[in-house]
Structure 1
Amino acid sequence: MDLADLGDAFAAFWQERHVCTLSTARPGGPPHVVPVGATLDLASGIARVITSGTSHKARLIGEPGARVALCQVDGRRWSTLEGRAVLRTEPEQVADAERRYAARYKPPRVNPSRVVVEIHVTRVLGNV
């Protein structure tokens, strides 16, 4: 999926500072929805969320390829990114995600157990 084809308004919306929600599935299917900061790389079609490796959301990702939804809302504008998630623990991947997070929000606090929820976007919904 080429996210750049969704236009400048879409790209700008995902660069503005907004709190997002990440939805994962609990055992048995009910959703687990939590507020997160997220970044989106249009060129690669990858969204990233930094979190602690011991967090419930990280544990729910479990095996690679877990289905997730990442959403942000600003009044009537909204966008949901659906995709498959994997946890990345490599120091260079974590550092890259921290840089991206700092550019959109602010520098994250120090967290030696930080991991990255890397979402390979497969579907986009919204009104931007």
Structure 2
Amino acid sequence: MSRAPVELPPITRAFLDRPDTATFTTRRPDGTPHVTPVRFTFDGSTGLARVTTRAGSRKARNVAAGGPAARVALCQVDGFRWVTLEGRAVVTDDPARLAEAVRRYTVRYRAAPPSPPDLVVIEIAVDRALSLNL
């Protein structure tokens, strides 16, 4: 994924470093939204957000079905402060990319993510960030 990283102010990046959850929105094949809570990581230097999940999860299947045009949104909220990260997403089980996702998750949440046998990572090339009160 080649892209210029999205520029975020330091206060916004600090907010995204907190060990909070977010809502993750994908589109089902019929076009309706699928929203689920997730833990995620965001690498501000590359503009890449990552969500680990099972390959058979609805969110992973929605992203895979969307192909290279699959767009998603992550929204982290704390009261009246929030940040939404939007971008194109892909699902991968590449061992190196999965290991990096697990490493970052473990640092952010101070515990490893669940590790089912069909673990994959959804990588989001963030190209838009919206926020309020940050």
| TM-score normalised according to structure 2 size | 0.89
State the secondary structure of the residue aligned to 2:82.
strand
* Aligned match of 1:89: 93
Q: CA shift at 1:112, angstroms?
A: 2.0
Q: Which residue of 2 aligns with 1:22?
A: 24
Deviation at 1:17, TM superposition (A): 1.1
Corresponding position: 1:38 with 2:40:
yes
Other-structure match for 2:61: 59
Map 1:113-124 → 2, pairs under 5 A: 113-124=118-129
Aligned mate of 2:82, from 78, 81, 86: 78
Aligned partners of 1:2, 1:98: CA distance in 2, in Å? 21
Q: Deviations over 1:54-92 (max 9, x none)?
A: 111100002233010111101111000110000111011
Counterpart in 2 of 1:103?
A: 107
Kindly state the Cα deviation for residue 29 of structure 1 after the two structures are TM-superposed. 1.6
Q: Which residue of 2 aligns with 1:7?
A: 9
Q: 2:5, 2:126 within 8 Å by CA — same for their partners in 1? A: no
Could you tell me how far apart the structure 2 residues matched to 1:17 and 1:29 are?
Answer: 31
Structure 1 gap ranges (5+): none
Report the number of matched residues.
127
One-letter amino acid of the counterpart of residue 87, structure 1: V
Identity %: 48
Taking structure 1 as the reference length, the TM-score comes to 0.93
Amino acid paired to 1:121: V
Structure 2: runs of 5 or more not aligned: none
RMSD: 1.2
Q: Is the contact made by 1:65 and 1:86 (CA closer than 8 Å) also made in structure 2? A: no
